[in-house]
Amino acid sequence: MALPPSNIPLHSSLDPLTPILTPLITNRSTSSTSTFAFSSSAAHLFKHVANESDSSSDDEEEVPSASDSNDVALKGSLTSSQSRVPTLLLPFTKGGERMCVEVPSETVVGSSKDELTASFVASRLLAISGDVQSSKAVVVVTMRSGRFGGGVFINGKCVSHKTSSRYTTRRGQGGAQSSNDKGKGKAKSMGAQLRRAGEIALENDVKEACELWNEWLLGSALVFLSVPNVMKKKFFESFPLDRTDKRIRSVPMVVKRPSFEVVKDVYNAMMNVTIRAIVEGEGDVKGGGNESSDGNDAATTSEQSAAPVPNPPSNESQPTTSTPSLPPPPPPPPFTPLHTKAQSCDLLAMKALLDSPLKPTINSTAGHLLETPLHLAAQTNSEAGAGCVLALMRSGADPTVADTHGRPPYFVAKGDKIREAFRLARGELGEDAFDWAASRIPVALTDDAIKLKKDKEKEKKRKQKERQKQKKAEERAERERQEKEVEEEEKKKKEIEDAKRVRAGLSEKKDPNACDFCGTVVRRKSNMFNRLEWNYCSTDCVKKHQRELAANAAAARFG
């Protein structure tokens, strides 16, 4: 009967692991070997060889003992991941039960280039646990699409956290505004200006958080970062640690919109060690190991536990055996013809392949991300890509198959046309065809719903055009009214001025620089003479006009 798995946080005591890890660390030169394996969500195992000793003890308490072998082999593959992040498995036996210690690989290994052995993994695990238990901080920072989330954890408790959300992403077309500016030049729209302001505000939020956490970051045990590559350059400009710092770890899991809950989720996933039974299909060790029957196993392990761990044998007394180096990782599966046609949106060629005997490869995974043809078609963002998605779904493509990052095809879809194709396929295939919740495809969409949506959009555009036309007509009418008022005003002013000239006995003025009395044009207005509201070319004109005005006034007075 398999023992239930138990989780051990790295900030707590690792006493249950000490009998397992100590022999791996202190006895590196013995000839017997044990194994550890990589376990990842990609459902592949990679076995490697590491050194371990056959220490003996006299304690009566049962202690897990590592299983020995002379050969390592891979049998099958992991069909369901026990962890959301890639892990390392350290197998051992306890009471005849094959078990393992499952350790998050990124937490232990990080960017280290040391030879990956069981001794290295065990020593690093204990060292990190010691740092965390000595109240050193563990910092988690996540950034994505204008959102920032981070937290500082000490002894498993969050002592400080900060989240921020800014408008930096172009909603309709996707991508950050800064990326669009680099590719197409700076746009002058109001939305572009708001997004640029949002990017500056987000940078300030990150700087404030880094200044607040400066002491914790400098003295931290580990720093987990989930930051897109395009944002890393600006991020590290305000980050107190250098990007080559050995404490920095990337987050090997899908991080959705950064929030405090996501930060806690990342911490729990990366800072827990699991002791569990080895499930069937996680590989088997070939060769003649020292596994004994249940009756002898308790005696063997009880004898091993009491005696102190012996010192490593010196080079003089016993020759050392070199640790076998890791074999190179296997190359990713190559793309099938169906993958290639789906990626290039060649709909006719893809339909021909779907009707051929190659159809069973429709759900096969390939490439370093282990993507299906449906993943590649979903990333095309074109009419032909939408047709490829529909053709694959109608031919039986499974939308729940995830890549190495745990993303189903709909998660990587680009553009509304591709997303509509997925929703249309859900409507055509029915609710019982797949686990639609696991595929993350929203509510089904029908042709009638799409037609209704398009009709609504057309009606919306028609009304918008009518409003714009009406607005232009109103603006034109208002402009004409104002022009008419100005004309009438000028006409009235001219009539008043003409009436004044008639009363003053003056003729119509044809030039602004003409003399109001005789009509002579003067080159410069500064050379003219002014009296009352009239301009004259000489003093003679002034006196003559003055006499005429006086005569007209006298005549008017005496009738």
Active site residues: 177
3-state secondary structure 474-490: HHHHHHHHHHHHHHHHH
The Cα-based distances of 450 to 416, 421, 441, 454 in angstroms read 12, 11, 16, 6
CA distance 483 to 470: 20
Token match 């956490």: residue? 213
Here the tokens at position 480 are 């004409």
Helices (H), 151-259: 177-184, 190-212, 214-218, 229-238
Q: Which residues pair with 287 in a beta bridge?
A: none
Name, in order, each residue with C-beta under 8 angstroms of 547's C-beta and a sequence gap of 6 or more.
none
List the helix and strand counts (H, then E) for the chain: 17, 13
Q: Compute φ and ψ for 217, nearest 5 degrees.
A: -65, -45
CA dihedral 425, 427, 432, 434 (to 10 degrees): 30
Here the tokens at position 551 are 């005569």
CA distance 271 to 140: 11
Q: What is the DSSP string of 121-159?
A: HHHHHHHHHHHHHTT--EEEEEEETTEEEEEEEETTEEE
Helices (H), 286-346: 294-306, 337-343
CA distance 188 to 435: 45
CA distance 295 to 33: 24
Here the tokens at position 335 are 């793309």
Query: Looking at the chain, how many residues does it have?
Result: 559
Here the tokens at position 353 are 């392949």
* 398-401-407 Cα angle (round to 5): 130
CA distance 377 to 388: 6
Longest CA pairwise span in the chain (Å): 152
Dihedral sign for Cα 294, 296, 297, 299, please.
positive
CA distance 262 to 475: 52
CA distance 83 to 325: 26
CA distance 190 to 534: 54
